[in-house]
Amino acid sequence: QLCAPGGPPKRTRGKRSAMAGEGPEEKRPRVAELPVVLGTQSKWRRELFAKHFAEYGSDFMSADIDEKAIRMERPEEMTVAIASAKADALLPRLAGREVLLVCMDQVVCCDGSVREKPESETEARAFLESYRSGKGARCVNGIVVHNTRTGRRVTGCDSSTIFWKPFPDAVIEHLLAEKLIFTCAGGFTAEDLQMQAYLERIEGTLDSIEGLPIAALRSLLLRAVAPAATHILFDMDGLLLDTESAYTVAQQEILDRFGKKFTWDLKAKMMGRKALDAVQILIDDLGLEGEISAEDFLKDREQLLDKLFADAKLMPGVDRLVRHLHKHGVPMAVATSSHRRHFDFKTGRHRELFGLMHHIVTGDQVSKSKPDPEIFFEAARRFDGGAPESSRVLVFEDAPNGVEAGRAASMQVCHVPDPNLALSLRGDSHGELSSLEEFRPEDWGLPGF
């Protein structure tokens, strides 16, 4: 395992896989519904957990398993498998106790291979040489949370990459003499002050490098105590259909007239909102008041989008997931901020698949935009038998405004953000995926693939 850094390094926002980055702090109860037993023998990991998850208690135990006997091609799968094996080994010792058992594993990947603890000075030198030549060390964390009260087990994976500037031979000799690197996967210690001096950037979060991804773990703890999902609500743009690129192209073409740039930060503010509300944000943000009205901007955009929407493709994993849920009789609906006219344009090539939905709610059928939860309440209300219990509804969203709306509706939320979305706009969902291809229905109490 990696050793905990002693001080905060320079950090840059970047792409992450599978689970959420550091997100906004939310108000948490003084005592959690179920206490946590942390399955680790790492003292620093226990200290980090106690610092960030005090409401869950501080009990821990360690599992004695042969980690090297578990090998898989993908490090994401391997770390989750090792964490699961730890949980399986510890569960008999928790008989009769109602707790959340948390087990984790971390590996370091660099230059196309998984790196264990260096077994010799020669191997340690080779690792360090690659780091000072600019190759990043990707820290992959597998997490398992098992609810002993319900038997529900949820899993997740989180990764971040750390890069160093070229460091001198003296740093390598120092690290070899200290010998701590021989106890750490990847053969480096982010806590070492001499190595910290040459830290260039972290793509992801420091806590992920440390081996205790805070936002990812918090999401899994929320999901582990949530009831099994029985109903599904899908957003559409950027989640089911690849239409966000069309909006970007059309809006930039209009903004070119005014010498303005359509940035990702601006796009994030607009995502999930009704068209007029979103365009007004754009005009206010770029100082275009008096140069073009929201209504005129929309009129120009409509003409461009009509051509672009006709070729909208399904996002990865959509076809498989929708057909799987339909096969198992899971009620599904779409709750999209798009106007009905746009919905018809966008789904023209996929009418059969969208026909598997119980119903569709479009933005012109409600009065308020996301992040207001009105559209999700309306979509839930239309299911046969009326609205199910909110906590049993699973919302899929790609936009921060949609995540906020789902949480405001007291529903479970799975966030599938664009990889360009800033880390500061993530972390408030029950789980984050880089693609619907990664979705594991059983983690949400649904029939597995």
Which residues are part of the catalytic machinery? 235, 237
Which residue carries 């949820």 as its tokens? Answer: 154
Residue 121 and residue 131: Cα distance in Å, rounded?
A: 15
CB-based contact 397:371 (threshold 8 Å): no
Radius of gyration over every alpha carbon of the chain, rounded to an integer in angstroms: 24
Q: Kindly state the tokens that stand for 383.
A: 């299911």
Residue 188 and residue 38: Cα distance in Å, rounded?
A: 25
The DSSP symbol for 8 reads P
Residue 447 φ then ψ, to 5°: -60, 135
Task: For residue 162, give the 3-state DSSP assignment.
Answer: strand
Residue 369 and residue 351: Cα distance in Å, rounded?
A: 25
Question: In three state form, how does the secondary structure of 412-440 look?
Answer: EEEECCCCCCCHHHCCCCCEECCCHHHCC
Q: How many Cα atoms are found within 13 Å in the side-chain-facing hemisphere of 443?
A: 23
Q: Kindly state the tokens that stand for 184.
A: 């750490």
For residue 182, give Cα distances in angstroms to 2, 99, 196: 11, 34, 18
Which residue carries 């210690």 as its tokens? Answer: 189
CB-based contact 369:335 (threshold 8 Å): no
Residue 372 and residue 366: Cα distance in Å, rounded?
A: 10
Segment (H or E) for 405: helix 400-408
CB-based contact 142:104 (threshold 8 Å): yes
Neighbours of 199 (CB within 10 A): 18
Question: In three state form, how does the secondary structure of 224-277 look?
Answer: HHCCCCCEEEECCECCCECCHHHHHHHHHHHHHHHCCCCCHHHHHHHCCCCHHH
Dihedral sign of CA atoms 346, 352, 354, 359 in order: positive
Q: How far is CA 106 from the centre of its chain?
A: 17
